[in-house]
Amino acid sequence: MTHNVLVVDDEPKLCDLLASALSQNGIVVFTAGNGLHALKVLECEDIDLVISDWRMPGMDGPQLLAEIKSRFPQLPVIVMTAYSTVKNAVQSMRNGAFDYIAKPFDIDELDITVNKALQFRDILKDNQRMRAELDEHRQIDSLIGDSPSFRRVLHAIDSVRESNATILLTGESGTGKEMVARAIHTHGNRADKPFVAVNCAAIPEGLLESEMFGHRKGAFTGAVADRVGRFQQADKGTLFLDEIGEMPLALQAKILRALQERVIEPVGDPRERKVDVRVIAATNKNLLDAVTNKEFREDLYYRLNVFPIPLPALRERVEDIAPLARHFAHTLGAAAGKRFSGFSPQALQAMARYSWPGNIRELQNCVERATIVASGAVIEEEDLPAYLFASSSADGATLIAEGSVPADLEAALAEVEKTYILAALAQSNGVQAAAAQLIGISERSFWYRLKKLGIHVDKIVR
C-alpha cells in the first residue's frame, strides 16, 4: 500500500533530506515550509502521516499539532525538535502527537518511528472501512422483494458472490445497481478488502484516465504530486464501474488491458503495476447497440459480460412496492425521529398504480417526502406527492386496455424521457445540473440525453 507523508519544516534542505530518505521506502512525500501551508496541503491531499518541526516561524509545531488534532483527529503526527528536552517531548505526546524524534536524527530510527505511525494509520483506516461496510451491510436489507424477477437477482448474487468473475449489472436508472454491487462484495470472498465505486459519467473525460490509473508528479498541468488511481485503491477488493457505457472509447482499450492482464500504467509512468481487482460494471444503456454503433468496444463488452445480472424495473415487480415502501418509511422515519406503522390501503393502491420511471430511487424519494408531511403513524394517500395521481391514468395497464399500445416502443419511450427532462429543466429554470439531480441521473448522462433527444436548453429557459 502506498502512503502519503507530509513533512513540515522551514528548512528546505531538511525537507529534501527527509523526502529522499522516505521515498526510498515507496512513500510519497509532500513538503510544506510552515504550518499554514501544511494545513492547505492537508485540505487537498489524502495524507497518512505528518512529520512536523517543533519550532517554526508563524504557526509553530505545537499550534499545527493542535489544528491537526482538531480538524483531522485520526491523523498521526510525529514531532521533530532540536530542543529535545523531556518537557517538549512529554508536552507533544500529551497534546496528541504519535511520537517524537530528536534532531539530528538517525535514519534507521526515523524509519522505525515512521513505520509504526503508518501501521497505526492503516489500522485506523481499516477500522473506518469496516464501520462503513457495516453501515453498507445494513443497506443491503434494502434488497427487499419476493417477486419472481427479483428472486432471480438474489439467486444470481448468491451464485456469483464467492467467485472473482467480472459482473455486468444492467437495468434502468434507479434500479439499485450499486446496492447489488455492494451486496456481492459484502457477502463475497473480498468482504474485508476495499469497495471502490467510480461513476464513469461523473468524471470529466480529460481526468478519467488519471482517476482510474493514477499519475506521476508532473505528468500534466496540475499534477503536483503522485496520485494513486482507483484500480490500486481497490487492490485485493472490488472496483465498481458505474455507467460504464459512458466511458470514452480511448480509455476503453486501457480498461480492457487492465482486466485481461491485471496490470496498469499510471499516467506519466511507464512502469507497470500489478493489481488484483474484482470488477463489477453497471450500465443503463444497451451495450450491444452501443457496440453496433461503434460507441463501445466489442472486446470490452464480452470481457465485462462474463456474468450478467439484469435488474428489473420497479414496474415489473409491483408486488415488491409495498414492502420496499414500508422499509423506507421505517428507516427514513427513524432518522427523522418519527415512527410509522405503515401505509393506508389507498396509499398502497396509489403507489401500485404508478409506473415509477425513476424506479427504487424515485420510490425512496416519494416515501421520504411522505414521512415529512405525514402527521400520523399511518401514511395516507394525501401524504403522497401529486404526480403519482396525475400520471396514474396513463400507466401501461390502462394503455393496453384501451388498445393504445405504441407501434414503436423506442420512440414512445423517448417521448416519455423527453417529457421528464423538459419538466425537470422547467422546474430548475434551465440549470442542467439541478435538472439532472431532480431525475436522479449524472450531469454527463443528462448531457448525453439532451444531445440524443435533440433538446436545446436555450430554447426552453424562461
- Give me Rg for the CA atoms of the chain: 27
Mean pLDDT, residues 55-66 taken together = 86
pTM above the 0.85 mark?
no
Confidence at 421, pLDDT banded by 50, 70, 90:
confident
Calpha distance 46→276 (Å, rounded): 22
| Out of 85-89, 90-94, 162-166, 238-242, least confident range | 85-89
| Out of 34-43, 48-57, 408-417, least confident range | 408-417
Cβ count near 123 (within 10 Å): 10
Cβ count near 413 (within 10 Å): 12
Residue 100: the pLDDT is 85
Q: Chain-wide mean pLDDT for the chain?
A: 84
Residue 257: the pLDDT is 92
User: Using one digit for the tens of pLDDT, what is the confidence trace for 232-262?
Assistant: 999 999 999 999 999 999 899 999 999 999 9
Residue 138: the pLDDT is 46
CA distances from 117 to 50, 59, 154, 377 (A): 9, 23, 43, 51
Q: Which of 80-84, 159-163, 399-403 has the highest mean pLDDT?
A: 159-163
Residue 335: the pLDDT is 80
Calpha distance 246→443 (Å, rounded): 11
Calpha distance 438→358 (Å, rounded): 10
Confidence at 45, pLDDT banded by 50, 70, 90:
confident
Mean pLDDT, residues 309-331 taken together = 93
Domains of the chain, earliest start first: 4-127 (3.40.50.2300), 143-310 (3.40.50.300), 315-400 (1.10.8.60), 407-459 (1.10.10.60)
Contact present, 371 and 336 (Cβ < 8 Å): yes
Residue 440: the pLDDT is 73
| Out of 71-85, 231-245, 353-367, least confident range | 71-85
Calpha distance 230→208 (Å, rounded): 10
HEC-encoded secondary structure of the chain: CCCEEEEECCCHHHHHHHHHHHHCCCCEEEEECCHHHHHHHHHHCCCCEEEEECCCCCCCHHHHHHHHHHHCCCCCEEEEECCCCHHHHHHHHHCCCCEEEECCCCHHHHHHHHHHHHHHHHHHHHHHHHHHHHHHHHHHHHCCCCCHHHHHHHHHHHHHCCCCCCEEEECCCCCCHHHHHHHHHHCCCCCCCCEEEEECCCCCHHHHHHHHHEECCCCCCCCCCCEECHHHHCCCCEEEEECHHHCCHHHHHHHHHHHHHCEECCECCCCCEECCCEEEEEECCCHHHHHHCCCCCHHHHHHHCCEEEECCCHHHCHHHHHHHHHHHHHHHHHHCCCCCCEECHHHHHHHHHCCCCCHHHHHHHHHHHHHHHCCCCEECHHHCCCHHHHCHHHCHHHHHHCCCCCCCHHHHHHHHHHHHHHHHHHHCCCCHHHHHHHCCCCHHHHHHHHHHHCCCHHHCCC
User: Using one digit for the tens of pLDDT, what is the confidence trace for 398-410?
Assistant: 444 444 455 555 6
Per-residue pLDDT at 67 exceeds 50:
yes
Residue 140: the pLDDT is 47
% of the chain with per-residue pLDDT over 90: 40
Calpha distance 73→235 (Å, rounded): 26
Residue 137: the pLDDT is 46
